[in-house]
């Protein structure tokens, strides 16, 4: 067995309860977002590399270290999508939908990043997400966050999750705040990590998100953005908090939540949990008013979030078990055609049904009992419906089977 093929590192097969949890997350999110007026889009798994390099930043870790990029036979540079937002914005532009706004989008599917696999994180991972494109009001931000909160509620994990929100302000607020951060961190430059010293020159906001222990000590005393907000940005933030309160969504303010790219502004938020051992983010997002324009489209405001299905699946209780199929058992070879007819009838009336492919009636009945099926239809000179729980059985017609099984 030394040459037995294994899954590629950072990937995982979904089988049995894993796949049940996976699709329970997707179906719950699909149902909830439909209540909020979102429609589902599916974009290609791979895109022109520029879709991501333009939007994520040529120097970001995702672009420089984590993307699965390859040249196809036509010489084009393509990339497996590392996240969902850029593809949705590209589809908005190429689909000619910038004239019919707002667009409320839900998506679900696999993403790909070459990073160190760890608990709940894979190189092929899966996300659900929403994007609301074309609305500049704080109400839109609150509605997007509220939809995420409701999904977590419906999955039964809201009690283990805390919503942290922050504002990144408008462009002038960020410029004001950037100057304050540069002044503060420059005075402590010799204590910063090498990465943060580079960030000090290029994007000092990223220092606030550093994982380096010494950097984090400095960050504790760094200036907060609230003192540097313009009046308009402060009003937007208050509007967001008021709308979240009206929607009944609990939140905590966390001034250390940042987004490193320039097109992010105003709202940034994360749903975090301690239920996975150490604090982890299960859903995160923000407002990105400049992204569509950066991709070559018009100036379309946007707000959205993404959530890892693998992490959510680890938190949810086991999904409700699906009904076990009714076993259809021919009592002899001559009964096979009628058994197939009954099998077809049950399925046509949305009743799960199975039959064995070999073996005599006794062996098939033994297999039906072991499967946990509640009922078996015994097909011979007459029809019998057998209750496999208590062993009782009754003579039935095809119509009576449907009535008895609730079709």
Binding residues for L-histidine: 83-85, 113, 127, 131, 259, 263-264
Contact by Cβ (8 Å): 104, 144: no
**Six token digits for residue 115:** 């990073």
Phi, psi at 154, each rounded to 5°: -65, -30
Query: How far apart are the C-alpha atoms of 356 and 246, rounded to whole Å?
Result: 56
C-alpha angle 309/310/315, rounded to 5°?
95
Give which of 184, 158, 130, 143 is closest to 315, Cα–Cα. 158
Contact by Cβ (8 Å): 135, 109: no
Q: Which residues carry a binding-site annotation?
A: 83-85, 113, 127, 131, 259, 263-264
Neighbours of 263 (CB within 10 A): 18
Cross-strand pairs, 111? 125
Look at residue 393 and give its three-state secondary structure.
strand
Contact by Cβ (8 Å): 286, 267: yes
Instruction: Look up residue 64 and give its DSSP letter.
Output: I
Phi, psi at 217, each rounded to 5°: -65, -40
Instruction: Look up residue 394 and give its DSSP letter.
Output: E
* CB-based burial label for 160 (10 Å; 0-12, 13-18, 19+): middle
Contact by Cβ (8 Å): 217, 196: no
DSSP string, 41-63: ----SEEETHHHHHHH-TTSHII
DSSP string, 257-292: ----STT-EEEEEEEEESTTSS-EEEEEEEE-TTHH
> Cα 229 vs. chain centroid, distance in angstroms?
32
Query: How far apart are the C-alpha atoms of 289 and 265, rounded to whole Å?
Result: 7
Rg of the chain over Cα atoms, rounded to whole angstroms, equals 27
């Amino acid at each position: 067995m030394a040459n037995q093929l294994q899954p590629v590192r950072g990937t995982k097969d979904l089988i049995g309860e894993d796949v049940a949890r996976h699709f329970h997350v997707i179906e719950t999110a699909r149902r909830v977002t439909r209540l909020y007026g979102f429609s589902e889009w599916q974009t290609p798994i791979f895109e022109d590399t520029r879709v991501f390099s333009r939007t994520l930043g040529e120097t970001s870790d995702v672009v420089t270290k984590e993307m699965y990029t390859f040249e196809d036979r036509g010489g084009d540079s393509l990339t497996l999508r590392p996240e969902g937002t850029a593809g949705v914005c590209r589809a908005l532009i190429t689909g000619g939908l910038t004239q019919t706004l707002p667009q409320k989008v839900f998506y679900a599917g696999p993403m790909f990043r070459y990073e160190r696999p760890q608990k709940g994180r894979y190189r092929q991972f899966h996300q659900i997400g929403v994007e609301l494109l074309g609305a500049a009001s704080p109400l839109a931000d609150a509605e997007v966050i509220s939809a995420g909160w409701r999904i977590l509620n419906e999955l039964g994990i809201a009690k283990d999750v805390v919503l942290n929100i922050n504002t990144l302000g408008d462009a002038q607020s960020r410029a004001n705040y950037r100057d304050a951060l540069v002044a503060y961190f420059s005075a402590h430059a010799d204590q910063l990590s090498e990465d943060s010293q580079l960030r000090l020159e290029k994007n000092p906001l990223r220092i606030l998100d550093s994982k380096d222990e010494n950097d984090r000590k400095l960050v504790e005393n760094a200036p907060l953005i609230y003192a540097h907000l313009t009046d308009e940005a402060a009003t937007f933030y208050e509007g967001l908090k008021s709308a979240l309160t009206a929607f009944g969504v609990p939140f905590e303010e966390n001034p250390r939540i940042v987004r490193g790219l320039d097109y992010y502004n105003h709202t940034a938020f994360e749903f975090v949990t301690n239920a996975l051992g150490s604090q982890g983010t299960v859903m995160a997002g923000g407002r990105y008013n400049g992204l569509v324009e950066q991709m070559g489209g018009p100036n379309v405001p946007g707000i959205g979030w993404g959530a890892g299905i693998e992490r959510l699946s680890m938190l949810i209780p086991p999904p409700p078990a699906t009904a076990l199929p009714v076993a259809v058992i021919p009592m002899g070879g001559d009964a096979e055609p009628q058994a197939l007819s009954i099998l077809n009838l049950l399925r046509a009336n949305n009743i799960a049904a199975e039959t064995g492919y070999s073996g005599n009636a006794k062996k098939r009945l033994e297999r039906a009992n072991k499967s946990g099926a509640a009922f078996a239809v015994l097909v011979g000179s007459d029809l019998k419906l057998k209750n496999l729980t208590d062993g009782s059985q009754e003579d039935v017609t095809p119509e009576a089977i449907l009535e008895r099984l609730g079709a």
